[in-house]
Structure 1
């Protein structure tokens, strides 16, 4: 883990643990809304690069009706760069998970799944880009819940746990 003093200002802002925890919590909320079950924690390593990379976020489907494989077929350039983005974000995702657990935004279930324990208060206004990230994280959580297993998601995206 890179010390805060050694991080670039942009990295410190965009990859901060609180933002990661919020993205993970919203993905977990979406997953649980779709399945009734908490999100396998490994899916956080897929959700974060999908949501935080603006070109990928902008290319995400509007609904969960689009199959992940079909979306990958229409976005080969995004898929090609996905493994590198996922690897780059692995440490920030771990840090965000720890932050979320420590600040009671997330809980880790005995089976290794993440459950969101925080809800945004009604009427709470977030900046537009942050709001878009959090809404897309929720969509990604619901979307990934439709896949057979996390292994399938990882294989389609070309990454390994």
Structure 2
């Protein structure tokens, strides 16, 4: 990962840890609330490539199961493994920030949870229409992951090797 001052302005603005952390936080929180389970850590690396890619984000819907969605939209998965790999450092930074600020915690089994007594990040505050769409799609992704079963199955559906 490049030093912060060495990043291009666009990367620094669009992929900053606060914004990416908000996306991850929203997904983790939605997953925790729906499933009543902790969020499997390996899935955190799939969230940003799904939400930040505009064409993919536009057709994410929890009305369709992840496996069916992936079969119906193979064109979106052509470069998905590359996007996921390129966003690993950005995801790591966002997770680190969330852990340091105690917005999420790492469970003893290595999974992620929003602490029960933490102050909830407001979904409407400081958002425009595109950010609101990203946060809405986070809830859809959380439902996908909850319904899809094992982590390995989710990775396989998206064409990524863990």
- What's the counterpart of residue 132 of structure 1? 133
- Which shifted more, 87-96 or 134-143? 134-143
Contact preservation (8 Å) 1:109, 1:115: yes
Contact preservation (8 Å) 1:32, 1:39: yes
- What's the counterpart of residue 39 of structure 2? 39
- What's the counterpart of residue 2 of structure 1? 2
Please list every run of 5 or more consecutive structure 1 residues that lacks an aligned counterpart in the other structure. none
Q: Trace 1:12-161 onto structure 2 (pairs within 5 A).
A: 12-61=12-61, 64-117=62-115, 118-121=119-122, 124-161=125-162
Cα distance in 2, alignment partners of residues 22 and 106 from structure 1: 11
- What is the deviation of 1:48? 1.3
Cα distance in 2, alignment partners of residues 108 and 60 from structure 1: 27
Cα distance in 1, alignment partners of residues 156 and 4 from structure 2: 33
Number of equivalenced pairs: 159
Cα distance in 2, alignment partners of residues 107 and 142 from structure 1: 20
Cα distance in 1, alignment partners of residues 122 and 69 from structure 2: 33
Cα distance in 1, alignment partners of residues 125 and 18 from structure 2: 17
- Which shifted more, 121-130 or 17-26? 121-130
Please list every run of 5 or more consecutive structure 2 residues that lacks an aligned counterpart in the other structure. none
RMSD: 1.5
- What is the deviation of 1:65? 3.5
Contact preservation (8 Å) 2:24, 2:47: yes
* Superimposed CA distance per residue, residues 4-59 of structure 1 (whole angstroms, 9 cap, x where no aligned partner): 12111111111111112111111111211221011111111111111111111001
Contact preservation (8 Å) 1:33, 1:142: no
